[in-house]
Structure 1
Amino acid sequence: MSRLRDLALTIAAALVGGVVADALGLPVAWLLGPVVAATAMSLAGLDTRLPEALKTFAFFVLGIQAGSGVSPEIASQIALWPLSFVIQLAGVLLAVMLCYAYLRRLLKWDHASALFASLPGALSFVVAAASETKADMGRVVIIQSIRLLMLIAALVPLLGALEGGDVMGSSIRPSVDGSFGEYALMFALCAVTAFLAAKLNVPGGMMLGALIGSAVLHGASVVSVSLPGFLALPSLVLLGVIVGARLNGISPKAFLQLLVPSLGCFALSLVGTGLAGLAAVVFVDLPAPNVALAYAPGALEALTVLAFQFDIDPAYVASHHVVRFFAIAMIVPFLARRVSRREAGEEPGIDRKENGARAPGE
């Protein structure tokens, strides 16, 4: 019963957050407001996790919506993407090195905690690998979660400035009129591609699969419809709750203890990926807003939605986050084994929980 109560309070708070943000004229109000509200609810001790059915609904709808932002003109830019991938991964490596040096050398964190807290994104893989070592799981989860929240808070006004402050006075684009057949085809194909992507364990499979199906149809000019607001708006609110729920189970004390290190890692991550983004803009002549979202060290789902909301190529953004995700997912098992062997040779008795931060459920 308390689970249902917390869920109702969380969604109600998210809706209020969206209304307030929209009234203030903030960009992407129906995402930004719910993120702030759900974060506050999480730190207040409510169970803000959404049921899987609601998550699946939100990701599927938002995937279709993001894919509708793809146009036939995008095909001419695809040849530039491999070089952009290389530059992006160089920026990720630089960001990891800077964060690790900050946590390990300046703050004197243990090797494992500093390493896994420095890896941007792919949280499920990072946490799974870190759990096989003596890393402080509380530190790793909190650093990763705060980085995502700060990323959204920083990117929204930045993109608003780059794209023009009045680009997104509303979070929802007007839907394009279309026939029942167009909508039926779009939903049917997207359901198939989303199901296949989820079965194949593709990162963000439900959303990415729906995006692919929608992008194919819109990119080939088979359909031209976009989702109506009564579907898009609730999905944005739910995504805001999903992002804010990243801090579910984390106490305010642990959050505050690690706020400064988290902000330091966030800033250094932006330095690493920002330098790579600058290189992509200058040498590959890619649009700055596209690069800002594609190279940002954050979650695929949230940043792909931001791409659509700011009229930025969502396929370009999503593909870069998938590449980053796979790169990190492939390297973390190797890192975990290497760290475990290193720890096996160390003397016992070292306290790696000196700050008292704990992972959710500890």
Structure 2
Amino acid sequence: MTAGMSARLRRALALASTLAMAAVGGAAAAALDLPVGWLLGSVVVVSIASLAGHDTNLPKGLRDAVFIVLGIQAGAGVTPAVVDQLALWPLSFAIQMLGVLCVIAATYVFLRKGFGWDKETALFAALPGAMSFVLAAASETRADMTRITIVQSVRLLLLIGALTPTLAWLEGGEGVLAASRGGSGTLGVYAILVAVCLAGAFLGHLSRLPGGILLGALAASAVLHVTEIAPVAVPQPIAVAGLVVLGALIGSRLKGESRSTMLELLPASLGAFVIGLVISAVAGLAAYQLLGIGLGKIALAYAPGALEALTVLAYQFNLDPAYVAAHHVVRFIGIALLVPILARHLSKPD
């Protein structure tokens, strides 16, 4: 056997074992009746496997395919009633972005003064969400990439762990596994849904937004469901598989070589997470009081990060995925515009 074939075989075995572990974890959590158990269980099991040193990386093609499926599913949760609340969105965006600025400022000061981190590392670790963009921008500076990656990864994992049971409590225990919205249809209707959503996913990819593939498929699916051109449901086995793979993707962000560093950075990571969560919660409560939008929707929309996972949770809890996804896109755009300004300011001498 050649070295190339041996490497491919090892990679295939690693992929198969990762997906198997994710499925077992998801099934166990679902059997325990945990909220969105298929997602939560796979995140926990694959995170543990990643920290133990197992190769949990998933191929890009599989990731993209799952994002398309999840986007189609989330789009089915958009109803004509969403249009009635569109007028409230701009003010909701403004409140959210004020909260984002406060999160960045408070976390930056916490990491800078509390732990003595350098300016660049503290800034990029303080940015809530948009992890791929943040890491790409940070890589072109003198920032400590390990610290940034761990703080951002811990924030993501804790968000999933904290928000899932919180939403189950707020929504009265819903969301163990949401039934797919829509009904059954002919092969022709499903072909229309898949073809249009693939085109939407491609356009989303071209936009270069985080989660662009999922967002494009979601938008296309939403149009087809609201107009009733293709108001069909994603088959439940496919929906479950999508949740399992998404959980594996989230868990695979951790790496075995990060174990000792992760423990060392745990106080900073937990502090940054708590600051982001508390300030986002205050902003969310303000939006709730001013706009009357449901707490569950606001919790997901204002949460600091994890666009794909939180959009899927919005669907699972029947909480307007379009509203949630739109707020995460606005937050990303705001961060993308802020980073050059903040980086220029931080380059000046103290």
TM-score by length of 2: 0.94
Aligned mates of 2:162, 2:31 — CA distance in 1: 20
- Alignment match, 1:350: none
- Alignment match, 1:100: 108
Question: 1:172 deviation in Å?
Answer: 5.2
Question: Could you give the per-residue CA deviations for residues 56-90 of structure 1, whole angstroms, max 9, x where no partner exists?
Answer: 11000000000000111110101100000000001
Which residue identity does 2:247 align to in structure 1?
A: G
Which residue identity does 2:283 align to in structure 1?
A: A
Which residue identity does 1:335 align to in structure 2?
A: L
Aligned mates of 2:107, 2:209 — CA distance in 1: 27
- Is it true that 1:91 corresponds to 2:99 in the alignment? yes
Question: Could you give the per-residue CA deviations for residues 204-225 of structure 1, whole angstroms, max 9, x where no partner exists?
Answer: 1111000000011112233321
Unaligned stretches of 5+ in structure 1?
347-362
Aligned mates of 1:334, 1:125 — CA distance in 2: 15
- Alignment match, 2:38: 30
Aligned mates of 1:91, 1:211 — CA distance in 2: 26
Question: 1:202 deviation in Å?
Answer: 2.8
Of 113, 128, 141, the match for 2:149 = 141
- Is it true that 1:20 corresponds to 2:23 in the alignment? no
Of 322, 325, 328, the match for 2:332 = 325
- Alignment match, 1:63: 71
Question: 1:268 deviation in Å?
Answer: 0.5
- Alignment match, 1:336: 343
Query: Aligned runs of 1:107-126 on 2, under 5 Å?
Result: 107-126=115-134
Aligned mates of 2:279, 2:137 — CA distance in 1: 23
Question: 1:180 deviation in Å?
Answer: 2.4
Of 167, 191, 195, the match for 1:159 = 167
Q: Is the 8 A contact 2:121 2:148 kept in 1?
A: yes
Q: Is the 8 A contact 2:297 2:324 kept in 1?
A: yes
**Partner SS state of residue 247, structure 1:** coil
Q: Is the 8 A contact 1:45 1:251 kept in 2?
A: no
**Partner SS state of residue 223, structure 1:** coil
- Alignment match, 1:187: 194
Q: After the TM superposition, which of the residue ranges 132-141 and 291-300 deviates more from structure 2? A: 132-141
- Alignment match, 2:87: 79
Aligned mates of 1:52, 1:129 — CA distance in 2: 21
Where has structure 1 moved over 4 Å in runs of 4 or more?
none
Which residue identity does 2:92 align to in structure 1?
A: S
How many residues are aligned here?
342
Q: Is the 8 A contact 1:17 1:36 kept in 2?
A: yes
- Is it true that 1:178 corresponds to 2:185 in the alignment? yes
TM-score by length of 1: 0.91
Query: Aligned runs of 1:223-302 on 2, under 5 Å?
Result: 223-248=230-255, 250-302=257-309
- Alignment match, 1:40: 48
- Alignment match, 2:3: none
**Partner SS state of residue 58, structure 2:** coil
Q: Is the 8 A contact 1:88 1:295 kept in 2?
A: yes
Q: Is the 8 A contact 1:174 1:229 kept in 2?
A: no
Aligned mates of 2:176, 2:212 — CA distance in 1: 30
Q: Is the 8 A contact 1:194 1:205 kept in 2?
A: yes
**Partner SS state of residue 298, structure 1:** coil
Identity of aligned residues (%): 53
RMSD of equivalent CA atoms: 1.6
Q: After the TM superposition, which of the residue ranges 171-180 and 40-49 deviates more from structure 2? A: 171-180
Question: Could you give the per-residue CA deviations for residues 263-297 of structure 1, whole angstroms, max 9, x where no partner exists?
Answer: 11111001111111000000111111000000000
